[in-house]
Structure 1
């Protein structure tokens, strides 16, 4: 039996209006990325990435998402991300930008990177808070970026897919 190796792209969605993040949906991201790949790489790129492309994780509060693609074709996905300039969700078109912050071979390596990244973000954001309530809400939002649910579903099957 052959095992297909995957690459996981940890990305951050940035909106012009931060309140727009609440409207993020997996379907909207999936279709926007799929369309961007088709525009950038044509039918070949769309077919290569369609086989195993999936949105594995999405946190609407922090704008972090995890995309999965086959190892051989992850560069097609990676190079199409800058072409996404808006997301359509709930009948609204929100201008946005998706930037890749890490590429990993397993979900676990992406989770480790995300923990380090969140700590850095927390240290950058906390000095700008003006009240204790603001500090607590920023702290909760950053710490909510946990992939516990994803780990429970995936178990250890993604662990050795480097």
Structure 2
């Protein structure tokens, strides 16, 4: 796993949880994902001058949430110190070695704002504890 200066299919992003059970997420930004996000950005354009508009909410499971680990890729914590969003070169095998969240997560969603930004979130299935990413620019990712 390493940082990429060019867009890849994997976006590393800071993530949060009120109980501090989450540190980062990885979004799978495939070509198909980008096309879907372009459509969603077009949908929010109708609200760009509406100050009372918050976001459009979509079901979207293209994200996984993780914890920092000294055993698997401890450099991730350093990578995210200055930036909240980075492209990474990785593969399924490396992703399996990351420390995942120990809870069953459900209700994965993406909130798309009229300014072209977005946030991913999901909930712990039994307690309803929320997990979410930093806000990021869909406009930049889909250009």
TM-score normalized with structure 1 length: 0.27
Greater radius of gyration (CA)? 1
TM-score normalized with structure 2 length: 0.29
Larger relative strand fraction: 2
